Amino acid sequence: MTTAAYKSGVIEVAENVYAFIQENCATNAGFIVSDEGVMVIDSLMTPTLAGRLYAAVRNVTKAPIRFLINTHFHGDHVFGNQYFLPAPIVAHANCRDELMEKFDGNMQRYRARTELIPELDQIKMTLPDVTFEDRMSIRLGDREIQLSFHGRAHSNSDILLYLPEEKLLFVADLAVNKTLPAFPDGHITKWLTVLEEVAKFDADTFVPGHGPVGDRSDFDDAVELLSLLNTEIRRGFDGGLSEEDTVKQVNVGRFADFAGQDRVGLITRMAYLAYRGELR
């Protein structure tokens, strides 16, 4: 399955607000610039990628990096943390815990791609040091950035960054674009509940953790796709089918050209655990 080409690189999504968009639905990041400094949103996975992100910031501004945000604990978003010190690292309290407790598993997942091992060997666990529970507001210059947590979803530490003036949301992996979502920690039914909350934000621009910058219709697609997956998998579960048989009958309909079609197996396994009440 090939991913359709889309606009990648550094994209100014609002004045002084940038999305760092990778090709092929690899991991995205972002940064917000003011005269007083810069907020970087996620640090990517390897020294090379973190270096590219840092260079992209420096290409726009020489202002100091004031804050690094971690949108959730997955290594492809946060293993580059050490390269943005001494900026404080801001995240949900669960992100610090998950990053610490699941560090080895988190790392092993990416080490399966053996060409990455020399880079991953350079990563030191670098934890968020400013954490919050439900909401936090950060002022950067004259801009307000609202951080919020809405519950277990793609992980147990997914946060949103909302720019109310710009009607812009950094949704990270809560709503990826043009790809099936990654599910190593996903709780499908709780995730759908969280997305009902995300949908209430007055936003026109959505910067996803994977895939191109989107608008409201792209966000709605992400919700519809997850809802469709839940319906399809639940039908198999309720019909007493094995996971293997359910995987064979899942039909993603108009989303068949999205990337990540090989994720249906893991999504089904995690959904079965969720339906049985076996996921925390």
By CB under 5 A, name the binding residues for Zn ion: 74, 173
CB of 192 to Zn ion, least distance (A): 17
Q: Which is nearer to Zn ion, 3 or 155 (CB)?
A: 155
Distance CA 40, CA 83 (A): 11
Shortest CB 173 distance to Zn ion, Å: 4
**Residue 33 or 271 with smaller CB distance to Zn ion:** 271
The number of beta carbons lying within 10 Å of the beta carbon of residue 112 is 8
* Cβ closest to Zn ion, residue 98 vs residue 173: 173
Q: Are strands 143-149 and 89-92 parallel, antiparallel or unpaired?
A: unpaired
Alpha helices, DSSP H only, in 46-187?
Answer: 47-60, 75-78, 93-101, 103-111, 117-120
CB of 208 to Zn ion, least distance (A): 11
- Give the shortest CB-101-to-Zn ion separation in angstroms: 16
Q: How far is the CB of 154 from Zn ion (least distance, A)?
A: 6
Rg, the chain, Cα only: 18
Q: Based on CB atoms, which residue is closest to Zn ion, 27 or 131?
A: 27
Q: How far is the CB of 140 from Zn ion (least distance, A)?
A: 25
Residue 56 burial (CB < 10 Å; 0-12/13-18/19+)? middle
Residue closer to Zn ion (CB basis): 173 or 232: 173
- Using CA atoms, how far apart are residues 140 and 36, in angstroms rounded to an integer? 7
* Nearer of residues 38 and 229 to Zn ion, judged by Cβ: 229
Can you tell me the distance from the alpha carbon of 269 to that of 260, in angstroms, rounded to the nearest whole number?
Answer: 16
Q: How far is the CB of 235 from Zn ion (least distance, A)?
A: 27
Buried b (16+ CB within 10 A) or exposed e, 87-110: bebbbbebbbbbbeebbeebeeeb
Q: Which residue is nearest to Zn ion (CB)?
A: 74
3-state secondary structure of 270: helix
Determine which helix (DSSP H) or strand (DSSP E) holds 218, and give its type and residue range.
helix 216-238
- Residues of the chain by 3-state class (helix, strand, coil), percent to 5: 40, 25, 35
For Zn ion, give the closer residue by CB, 98 or 232.
98
